Amino acid sequence: MTALERAIRRPPLVRGFRATSPLDGLDRRSVGFFDVFAQSVSAVAPAAAATTVTLLVAGLSPTATVTSLLLGGVLIILVARTISQFARRFAAAGAVYTYTARGLGVRAGLAAGASAIIGYGAIAMFALLGGAFYSTLVLRSVWPSLPDTPLVAAGVLSAEAALLVLVLVRGIRLSSRVALVVEAASVTLIVGLLVALLARIGPIDPAVLLPSADDSPLTVAAGALVALTAYVGFESAATLGVEARMPLRTVPRAIGWTAVVSAALYLLAAVAQVSGFAAIGGDFAASTSPVNDLADAFGLGGWGVVADLGIAASFLACAIGSTTALSRVLFTMARDGALPAGLGRTHRRFGTPIGAIACAVPVVIAAPLGLLLSGIALPTAMHLTLVVGGFGYIVSYALVCVAAPVFLRRIGELTGRVAVVAIACAVALVGTIVAFAIIDVGSGSIAVWVAAALALTAAAAIAWRLRRAPLSALGAYDEPVAGAVLGGAAEHPVDLAPGGTTPGEAEASRDGAG
């Protein structure tokens, strides 16, 4: 017997490992890069956002649309690089919640968790509403007498909700692959239509793509915030850190590629739509379906209906991706003890966080249905949920950007470049929130007030939770377990200080999870 054979047969004990991961129960190491990439892409829903969020940006100023989307894209790519500082070091299911808790401690972690819950939940509602809006457009193209009533849209939304529940319960492999196929087909359709439009438009005057003299820096900044809502969800690949194979490699790649691909698509969409309406002398901001209007104007009417079908499908993929991420944040917070333990229960067969899904899905479905049945117009309901979701996401991004240099300094891996980028991103994100709040309140919208009410409710809930029972630490992530290590001996490691970690712990996670 060789020395290697003896070491394998009778390995020395290696202590300090748990018998199970703190996030045990999820379908560990079951999905590859494309499934993880699909999660982020579906949550962003670039095919849908390319044609809807650009219109919302144009509502502030059509001439500032391209600039605002470009600024939003640059900022999101830098935020993606900052979030990846965490994703490269440990695998988690709580994404920005876990990362912030590891960097800034309990209170900031709970704030990030609450913001992420509001963001994922409201965007899932926005996606269901958007899917209903574009699905009814498709239905009316083949059934012109279809009545334009809230009941029709509510019926379509209910059908979307049934498919959403089925896909979420059956597991991440099904949901991610359905989302990837749907989004890939949708993006292909939209890109084909945009390229065809640009070919029909002909040479473009660069002046129509630049802000006019009437556009103030405040308007451009407010437009950049709305533009950021087109990118939100790009980080949701990090909620699959437990289920991903080689998560410390695949998750950062998925986050980065989602940000870059989305930015390229949005710029293409903005250029095509702004230049198209300029060519026909139309009002981009006044259009209810700009892609359809341009397709009709340039003799591509049949493409418009196909594009509507792709956009509706993209919205459904977004609802799946956003609710998937929402359920995993709730699951992680329950495993941390911040939420009721029942939310941390997993499905024995499918390895899905069934407790969190059972809590989240009824709310995600009931809220948009309630908005429709109360008589609120679909576009108004979409604007409300998008703005609320955007605020939730952006607050969580600002917190994780502040957390990154603190965390890296603690483990001795902070560099000047990372610190400058992270803090600059945090300041820019806060600035866009302030700019948009001023503009939106001035327009008479109640979206900012709804977001503020939710923020106050979340703050009160956090204060009540901490008074009820203090939390010593948050931010559970997937640790190497004894059964995965040759000679590993199971025992519970000493608890860390709030949000604490060590270089050794980070290295152990890197070795075991990668």
Is 441 a residue whose pLDDT tops 90? no
Q: What are phi and psi of 489, to 5 degrees?
A: -115, 125
> Cβ neighbours of residue 468 under 8 Å, at least 6 residues apart?
none
Place of tokens 């377990």: 481
Q: What is the mean pLDDT of residues 313-331?
A: 91
Q: Which is higher by pLDDT, 202 or 442? A: 202
Q: In the chain, pLDDT over 70 holds for what percent of residues?
A: 92
Is 507 a residue whose pLDDT tops 60? no
Is 513 a residue whose pLDDT tops 60? no
Query: Of the candidates 396, 236, 240, 392, which has an alpha carbon nearest to the alpha carbon of residue 317?
Result: 236
What does the pLDDT read at residue 103? Answer: 95
User: Which pLDDT band, with edges at 50, 70 and 90, does 83 fall under?
Assistant: very high
- CA 95, CA 252: separation in Å to the nearest integer? 12
Joined together, the tokens standing for residue 72 give 């939003």
Q: How many helices (H) and strands (E) does the chain have?
A: 17, 2
**DSSP designation for 94:** S
CB atoms within 10 A of CB 482: 18
Kindly report, residue by residue over 259-280, the tens digit of the pLDDT.
999 999 999 999 999 999 999 9
> Cβ neighbours of residue 418 under 8 Å, at least 6 residues apart?
82, 85, 404, 405, 408
Segments making up each domain of the chain, as ranges: 22-478
Give 60-78 as a 3 state SS string: HCHHHHHHHHHHHHHHHHH
User: Which pLDDT band, with edges at 50, 70 and 90, does 337 fall under?
Assistant: very high
- Flag the least confident range among 121-125, 136-140, 508-512: 508-512
User: Which pLDDT band, with edges at 50, 70 and 90, does 205 fall under?
Assistant: confident
- CA 130, CA 318: separation in Å to the nearest integer? 10
What would be the CATH architecture of the domain defined by 22-478?
A: Up-down Bundle (1.20)
Q: If residue 465 lies in a helix (H) or strand (E), which one and from where to where?
A: helix 447-468
Is 154 a residue whose pLDDT tops 50? yes
7-21, 39-53, 96-110: range with highest mean pLDDT: 96-110
Joined together, the tokens standing for residue 456 give 């106050």
Q: In the chain, pLDDT over 90 holds for what percent of residues?
A: 45
Q: Alpha-carbon Rg of the chain, whole angstroms?
A: 23
Q: If residue 489 lies in a helix (H) or strand (E), which one and from where to where?
A: strand 488-490
Joined together, the tokens standing for residue 385 give 């949920």
Is 86 a residue whose pLDDT tops 80? yes
